[in-house]
Amino acid sequence: MQSRPAPKRRKGLVIVNRRTGKGKTTAAFGLAFRARGRGMAAGILQFIKPGTARFGEVRAQPGIEF
């Protein structure tokens, strides 16, 4: 009985664009368009936090700047 080679697994990639300022959306869409042009799947998620909120990562480490 011959053994078959294991099927190749495709690896995913997650890119996080963060910080204040401009260019994050442009960079995200540029990479997504390039990926789609090469036949890959691409998606964009946006998480919006209000400036007045104190989320867990801020409360957990007050000495670290986000």
Q: Do 32 and 20 contact (CB within 8 A), yes or no?
A: no
Output the CA–CA distances (angstroms, integers) from residue 53 to 1, 4, 27, in the order listed.
Answer: 62, 54, 26
> Tens digit of pLDDT for each residue in 38-56?
988 899 988 777 777 766 6
Confidence (pLDDT) at 63: 66
Radius of gyration of the chain (CA): 19
CA 58 to CA 65: how far, in whole Å? 8
Confidence (pLDDT) at 52: 75
Query: Does the global pTM surpass 0.85?
Result: no
Q: Where are the domains of the chain?
A: 24-60
Indicate if the pLDDT at residue 37 is higher than 90. Answer: yes
Output the CA–CA distances (angstroms, integers) from residue 28 to 13, 38, 41, 57, in the order listed.
Answer: 13, 16, 14, 24
